[in-house]
Structure 1
Amino acid sequence: MVYFQKMTPEGYKQIEDEIARLKKGRPRRIKILQAACALGDLSENTEYTEAKRYLGKQLKYTEIVETKDDGKVDLGKTVVLKFDDDEDTEEYKIVGRMEADLADGKISFGSPLGQAIMRKEAGTTSTVEAPAGEYKVTIVEVK
């Protein structure tokens, strides 16, 4: 059984861009490696090879999920949330596991918060089962 991870189109493009960046720097790396070989250093450029291989696998086993305009929280959508212990709201984009970056306002659909709100509509209050304990969050808006 092959496992496909879910990812937004933006996350997929970021990986494609990173592979392109690695490929663009490859000629310079080859020259450095050739110079090192001429001096007797036969070590390989494993950093480049491993990064490219890892990113290539990410693309190969990724299912790109397009958003639907159905009013429900889903991958690729942005949600405005109100936490039960806070008067302010917070905005997050729901993304795949590899794209998650809390500092950039991106949470994984597989995180405890993501799981609690997935496929729910604005106005719904959900209980989040987090490692540090449970808490409630209300979905204010789904964009």
Structure 2
Amino acid sequence: MGRWRAPGAASSVLITPEGLRRLQEELTDLWTRRRPEVVAALSAAAAEGDRSENAEYIYRKKQLAEIDRRVRYLGKRIPSLRASHELPADQAVIYFGAYFRVEDADGSEHAYRIVGPDESDARRGWISIDSPFARAALGRRIDDEFEVATPTGVRMCCVVAVAYE
């Protein structure tokens, strides 16, 4: 059996300007600071002798491979991204970059922001524009209700606030 996998769905190329800046800073940091540190540590570990049983050498090789993988990914992904700088004409509607709050059927409120797939962060409530919840919320206004299928069942939500920064 081979290692072939079907290609995944293409992710959106939208990103917020601050998200693009963070990815560019990460690439610069990996290339100028982290990679040289790991290469120096790898060289020191290699100089210690037998590499087949040298745990430090094996660890540093894996760490270098992870850094190189991330550098390759960012090097290919950053040029394909499109930063969204404009605010929408109607700022009462949920579009890309919107901060919004919804109220669930049980009365609990949750805050979200629609961002690009490269900058989603569940702890901050930043959801990818490619997610089912974001797709269901796009185009909604305050007091609009929508439902979205979740792993735990259908979730009913009502938009209570929309803002752009």
Q: Give the structure-2-normalised TM-score.
A: 0.72
Q: Secondary structure at the match of 2:94?
A: coil
**Length, aligned pairs only:** 141
Larger Rg: 2
- Write out aligned runs for 1:13-24 (5 A): 13-23=21-31, 24=33
Alpha-carbon shift at residue 22 of structure 1 (Å): 0.9
Q: What is the identity, as a one-letter code, of the residue corresponding to 2:13?
A: Q
Cα distance in 2 for residues equivalent to 1:142 and 1:8 = 17
Q: Which residue matches 1:63? A: 82
Give the deviation of 1:135 after TM superposition: 2.0
Equivalence for 1:52: 71
Higher strand proportion (structure 1 or 2): 1
CA deviations on 1:92-111 (whole Å, 9 max, x unpaired) are 11111222222111112222
Contact 2:16/2:85, CA 8 A, preserved across alignment: yes
Gaps of 5+ in 2: 1-9, 52-56
Is the CA contact 1:4–1:61 (under 8 Å) kept in the aligned structure 2? no
Residues 1:118 and 2:138 aligned together: yes
TM-align CA RMSD: 2.4
Kindly state the Cα deviation for residue 63 of structure 1 after the two structures are TM-superposed.
1.9
- TM-score w.r.t. the length of structure 1 is 0.81
Aligned-pair CA distance for 1:9: 1.6
* Alpha-carbon distance between aligned partners in 1 of 2:130 and 2:86, rounded to the nearest angstrom: 17
